[in-house]
Amino acid sequence: MNIKYKEIVAWVRHQLDAKQLKVGDKLPSIRSLAQQFQCSKNTVSKALAELEKLHIVYAKPKSGYYVVDFFQTDRPAQDEVDFLSAGPDQRIMPYEDFQHCMNQAIEHYKEELFTYSDRQGLFSLRVELTKYLQHLQVFTIPERLVITSGSQQALQILAVMPFPNGKTHVLIEDPTYFGMLETLKLNHVPTIGLPLSMEGIDFEQLEHLFRTKKIKFFYVIPRCHNPLGHHYSNSEKRKIVELAEKYDIYIVEDDFLAELDTDTKADPLFTYEPNGRVIYLKSFSKVFLPGLRIATVVLPENMIVRFIQHKFSADFNTSALSQGALEIYLKNGMFRYHLEKVQQLYTKKMQLLLEACERYLPDDIQYSKPNNGFYMTINIPSPVDAKQLIEQLKEKHIFVDHATEMYWAKPRPQAIRLSISQVDEAFICDGIQEIASQIQLLKTIQFNPLSFRFFNRTEHTPKKSK
């Protein structure tokens, strides 16, 4: 077996690690590499092709091979417990598969790459998305889909654009997705929060708000809620849609983690609306590639033109290359195969997280208990401050998010959000154990200030010089 080409690949990587090669540097010629490693030119060419495939070098015709970028070999410290990051687990990111789709998209969509494509999104992609959405019990037609540059763009447009019902307020679950809160605040959109817990919402309060307030839409995360992990039952979803129909209110359904719902009988709210009452939003950032920046929104026919006008004013159209690559990825079945690995991994992680919480968190600490998804929330008992806890955990190399900022109404509960998306399974148990320990430590300090002063004096007061 010819392993010389592997030696050449390893040598180039070593040169990059040692900073003997840097971005833009030209590699030695094929002839000199063949002499250096005492191999054939074909072996060198094979090694260079492998380096090209890894995006470490690129070829200039009649010139040679050059370094694309520094090959980064550093990895996060293995004692870090990352409950903060919310992107997909990098171990199952389909880089190589999607690279093939990008290359095919470049070849197939040459003309679209050098001009402005359809404002509504590539029709061929909308056809594939329509087929894919059927697996999520969303049955529609390509003409009702609009492709956006991520779900955040869709939320931004929906928050500010006028709706056919002529109303002005937005109703949100409280807590909810931080990006939506920021959009509403920055655009000064009149907003009302409806308390949400793992037990759900108060439907009497929901109907009262629908009846008495000028609500243009109700923003709902129906399953794998961010930050709680809450799921609505099918009967609850049906009831929400019925009330929306009764009071002429639209629903914006953000189904961003639909693929992680292990309940095969669960339906989206979209299933229960016959007249375009529910606006369905589907993103691919959390279960696929965040940098792709592709989402789709299913709109009522009477809102499509206005929505596209707002999108056009923001960015003309979404990247044709990203759209084309996603179309190919969906069409060839790669995405369905990728989702099987995604579901298995995150289901396992969530189970480990819940088991660790059950084992280590004291009885007076309440936490959400999601069946699946990325997120869960831990409520911090008084008088512990969530921000102080987060800082203490950082010193222990444990990273969590400040869920307090994801609430609309005040006073806001003290809470932290944990995401299992990028944390290593091996560190979940230790991470929860340390969180429980730090909460108990802060409680002790708060209830006994003398111990805090003693702690400060012994740990931080410099020793007197002799």
pTM of the model: 0.79
Angle of helix 425-447 relative to helix 334-360, nearest 10 degrees?
40
On whether the CB atoms of residues 375 and 235 are closer than 8 A, the answer is no
Burial 301-337 (b: 16+ CB within 10 A, else e): eebbeebbebbeeeeebbbbebbbbbbbbbbeebbee
DSSP state of 230: -
pLDDT, tens digit, for every residue of 2-25?
A: 577 888 888 888 888 778 888 788
Amino acid at 337: Y
pLDDT, tens digit, for every residue of 269-291?
A: 999 987 899 999 999 877 877 77
Amino acid at 391: E
| Cα distance between residue 177 and residue 226, in whole Å | 5
Please compute the mean of the pLDDT values over residues 424-447 and round it to a whole number.
89
How would residue 464 be classed by pLDDT, with cut points 50, 70 and 90? Answer: very low
Give the per-residue pLDDT at 460: 40
DSSP state of 233: -
CA distances from 98 to 337, 340, 342, 358 (A): 13, 16, 15, 39
By mean pLDDT, which of 124-128, 289-293, 337-341, 381-385 is the weakest? 289-293
pLDDT, tens digit, for every residue of 289-312?
A: 777 789 999 999 999 999 999 999
| 43-52 long-range contacts, CB within 8 A, separation 24+ | 43/2, 43/4, 43/5, 43/8, 44/5, 44/8, 46/2, 46/5, 47/4, 47/5, 47/6, 47/8, 47/9, 47/12, 48/8, 50/5, 50/9, 51/9, 51/12
DSSP state of 26: B
Give the per-residue pLDDT at 113: 64
Quote the distance between the C-alpha of residue 317 and its chain's center: 22
Taking Cα atoms as reference points, which of 159, 225, 268, 242 lies closest to residue 371?
225
Q: Coil, strand, or helix at residue 365?
A: coil
Give the per-residue pLDDT at 115: 64
DSSP state of 81: E
- Which strand (E) or helix (H) includes residue 250? strand 250-254
On whether the CB atoms of residues 240 and 210 are closer than 8 A, the answer is no
On whether the CB atoms of residues 101 and 325 are closer than 8 A, the answer is yes
pLDDT, tens digit, for every residue of 227-254?
A: 999 999 999 999 999 999 999 999 999 9
Domains in the chain, CATH or no CATH each: 4-67 (1.10.10.10), 95-335 (3.40.640.10), 340-460 (3.90.1150.10)
CA distances from 48 to 17, 33, 59 (A): 17, 10, 9
Amino acid at 180: M
pLDDT, tens digit, for every residue of 390-426?
A: 999 999 999 999 999 999 998 999 999 999 999 999 9
Tell me the pLDDT of the chain averaged across its residues. Answer: 88
How would residue 457 be classed by pLDDT, with cut points 50, 70 and 90? Answer: very low
Please compute the mean of the pLDDT values over residues 374-392 and round it to a whole number.
93
Give the per-residue pLDDT at 279: 98
Alpha helices in 316-418 (DSSP H): 320-331, 334-360, 386-395
Task: Identify which has the larger pLDDT, 454 or 194.
Answer: 194
**What phi and psi, each to the nearest 5 degrees, are found at residue 52?**
-65, -45
pLDDT, tens digit, for every residue of 309-353?
A: 999 998 878 888 889 888 988 988 888 888 888 899 999 999 999
Task: Identify which has the larger pLDDT, 46 or 417.
Answer: 417
Cβ-in-10-Å burial (0-12, 13-18, 19+) of 367 comes to buried
How would residue 449 be classed by pLDDT, with cut points 50, 70 and 90? Answer: low
Q: 2: which residues sit within 8 A by CB, 6+ positions away?
A: 43, 46
End-to-end CA distance of the chain: 70
| Cα distance between residue 187 and residue 183, in whole Å | 6
- Which strand (E) or helix (H) includes residue 108? helix 95-108
Please compute the mean of the pLDDT values over residues 135-146 and round it to a whole number.
96
